Structure 1
Amino acid sequence: MAAFSVRDFYDGLAPDYHLIFRDWDASMARQAAVLDELFRRHPGPGSRRVLDCSCGIGTQAIGLALAGHKVVGSDLSPVAAGRASAEAADRGISLPVAAADMRLLPFASSGFDVVVCADNALPHLLSAQDVRAALLEMRRVLRDEGLLVLTVRAYDEDRRTRPVSAPPQVSDTPEGRVITFQLWNWHTDGERYDVEHFQIHPAADTWEVRVRRTTYWALTRRQVTALVAEAGFTDITWHTPDSTGFYQPVLTARHVRAEP
C-alpha cells in the first residue's frame, strides 16, 4: 500500500504546528487538565511518570509537565521532538525527548505509570499488524496496573460519509492570519485516506501556501477497542468529548500483568 512518509509530514509541519491552534498555550493547559483528571481516576491523585509516545511539538507533554507530572516524550519526527524539548525549556521545565517509532520504543520495560498516544497519532499506522506492534510496545513500557491513554478521531461517521475536507482553522500571528485546512482523498478500501494539509501564510502583499501530505487509517471505535484488547489491556473505557471537554474521544485502559 503506497503511503506518504509520516516522518516527512511532521518534520515539515513542526515549525508551524502551533498555528493549528488559536492559542497553543491555552490549548496545552486545557488538554493537560482533562488528561490529569483521567490520571487521577487510576488509581488516585499524585504525580505520574508519563511517556508521551507521539509527543509532536509537546502539546500534551508540556502541559502535563507543567501540571507536575514527570514526562518523557518520543516522536517519529526528530524535528518535532526537538522543538518540544526547546518549547519546554522556554517555559522553565525539562522535557527529555527521543526520536523513536512507537512500534519500537527505546525505553526499559515497566518504566512508566502512564503512556499517552494523542492527537490521532495511532491511525498513522496503516495495518493491524503495525497497530498491534505499537500497542504491545506501549504495554511493555507500562508498569503493572499502568494506564494507557489514546485519543483518536471519531471515525465511525466519517467511514460512512467519506468527507472530502475538514473545516478551516484560523490563527492570528504578528504577520497576519494563518489559515489551515485539509483535503481528504479516500482509498478504494473505504478505510484509509490521504490528507493534503494546507497552510496559507501572509507574505508581504501576497500569500505563501505550504502543503504537506500524509495518510491515515480511519479506525472505528470497535476496531480500536478490539486491537487494544488483543494487545492485552483490560478495563477499556471510552470517554466522549461531551464528558471530558477533550476535542477527541479518549480511550483509557489498564495493563495488568499475568500471574506467574
Structure 2
Amino acid sequence: MTDDFYDELAPLYHLIYPDWNESIGLQGGKLSRLIEAEWPGQGARRKVLDVSCGIGTQALGLAAQGHDVTASDLSPREIERARSEAGARGLDIAFAVCDMREAHTHHGGGFDIVMSCDNSMPHLQTDDDLLTAFRQMTACLRPGGGCVVSVRDYASEARGTNIVKHYGARVENGLRHVLFQVWDFDDDGRGAHYDLGFFFVTEDLATQAVHTRVMRSRYYAISTARLCEFMREAGLQDVRRIDDAFFQPVLVGTRAAS
C-alpha cells in the first residue's frame, strides 16, 4: 500500500507545501544546523544517507548545503522525480529504490548521518519492522555517526474517525488544488493504527471543471517515547527527543564510537 500511495502522490507531492522550493532550503538549513550542533567537529561536509527521501525535500536541501548525500525510497516514481529534481538543480545525489528495512544491505556502512524525516517511520506497521529498520540504519553509520528521525507527535493527536486535516489551496498552471486528509483510527477510533485518505480536489480555473483524486495509506500512530526505545534497542546511544529544531519533533541517537 505504501509504495502505491507514494507512486500516485509523486507528481503532486510538492503541493503539500505552500512553496516547495522554499521548504527545501529551510529544511536543509535546519537539518544542517541540527547535525552540526549534535555532532560537531566533523567538518561542514557530511556523508548523509536519507532512507525515506520521497521526492527529495530533505536530500535536496542537504545537498545544497554542501553535504555528500545518498538517498533512497520505496517508491520508484518518487525516486524518478527526485533524480529529475536534483538534475534540474545541478545537485549530485546518488538515488536508489530501497526499503528502509534493507538500508544496510543495500547501501552498506560508513555514513556520518542516517536519517528518515517527515513521518516516514510510522508507515511501518509493526514493532518488529520498526526495530529492523532502526538496526539497519544503525549498521549504516560509522562509529560515532548520528541518526536523525522526524515524526508526528501522535501523543498530541486526537483519536477518532472522520478526522480532517486541511492543507489549504494551491494555484499552479491554471489549476487550483485543494488538499486535505481524512483519518480513521481502528477500534472505534481508539486504536494505534489509522487509515488515511489524502484528497486532491483540482479545479480548472478557465473551465471550472473539477476532478478529485484520493490516495490511501495506513500509519502506525506510535509515540516518540516508544520509537526512542527501539532506537536504543537497535544500538544507538544518547537517544533523545528535540523539539523546536524542525517542523516536527526530531529523535536523535549516536552509534557508539567503538
TM-score of the pair, normalised by structure 1 = 0.92
Compute the displacement of 1:177 (Å). 2.4
* Residues 1:122 and 2:118 aligned together: no
One-letter amino acid of the structure 1 residue matched with residue 59 of structure 2: A
Alignment partners' CA distance in 1, 2:167 and 2:15: 12
Alignment partners' CA distance in 2, 1:109 and 1:90: 28
Compute the displacement of 1:251 (Å). 0.9
Greater mean alpha carbon deviation, residues 230-239 or residues 120-129 = 230-239
Is contact 2:159–2:185 with CA below 8 Å preserved after alignment? Answer: no
1:1-260 residue pairs with structure 2 within 5 A?
Answer: 5-41=1-37, 42-44=39-41, 45-105=43-103, 106-158=105-157, 164-188=163-187, 190-203=191-204, 204-241=207-244, 244=245, 246-256=246-256
SS of equivalent to 2:79:
helix
One-letter amino acid of the structure 2 residue matched with residue 124 of structure 1: H
When residues 196 and 66 of structure 1 are mapped into structure 2, their CA distance, relative to the original with a 3 A threshold, is same
One-letter amino acid of the structure 2 residue matched with residue 228 of structure 1: M
Compute the displacement of 1:166 (Å). 1.1
Compute the displacement of 1:225 (Å). 1.2
Alignment partners' CA distance in 2, 1:58 and 1:71: 11
Structure 1 residue runs of 4+, over 3 Å off?
106-109, 159-163
One-letter amino acid of the structure 2 residue matched with residue 214 of structure 1: S
Structure 1 residues 149-200: Cα deviation after superposition (integer angstroms, max 9, x where no partner): 0000010022657771212322221213211100001111610000000011
One-letter amino acid of the structure 1 residue matched with residue 174 of structure 2: E
Alignment partners' CA distance in 1, 2:14 and 2:251: 24
Is contact 1:171–1:179 with CA below 8 Å preserved after alignment? Answer: yes
Structure 1 residues 35-82: Cα deviation after superposition (integer angstroms, max 9, x where no partner): 001111202341001011000000000010011000011000011011
Compute the displacement of 1:110 (Å). 2.4
Alignment partners' CA distance in 1, 2:144 and 2:92: 26
Alignment partners' CA distance in 1, 2:141 and 2:171: 39
Is contact 1:117–1:149 with CA below 8 Å preserved after alignment? Answer: yes
Alignment partners' CA distance in 2, 1:109 and 1:173: 40
Is contact 1:48–1:70 with CA below 8 Å preserved after alignment? Answer: yes
Structure 1 unaligned regions, length at least 5: none
Structure 2 unaligned regions, length at least 5: none
When residues 159 and 202 of structure 1 are mapped into structure 2, their CA distance, relative to the original with a 3 A threshold, is closer
RMSD (Å), alpha carbons: 1.6
Is contact 2:160–2:184 with CA below 8 Å preserved after alignment? Answer: no
Structure 1 residues 182-228: Cα deviation after superposition (integer angstroms, max 9, x where no partner): 00011116100000000111233221111000000001121111111
Is contact 1:159–1:191 with CA below 8 Å preserved after alignment? Answer: no
Count of residues paired in the alignment: 251
Alignment partners' CA distance in 2, 1:67 and 1:153: 25
Is contact 2:144–2:255 with CA below 8 Å preserved after alignment? Answer: yes
Greater mean alpha carbon deviation, residues 155-164 or residues 46-55 = 155-164
Alignment partners' CA distance in 2, 1:193 and 1:92: 39
Greater mean alpha carbon deviation, residues 213-222 or residues 37-46 = 37-46
SS of equivalent to 2:197:
strand
One-letter amino acid of the structure 1 residue matched with residue 62 of structure 2: L
Alignment partners' CA distance in 2, 1:91 and 1:212: 28
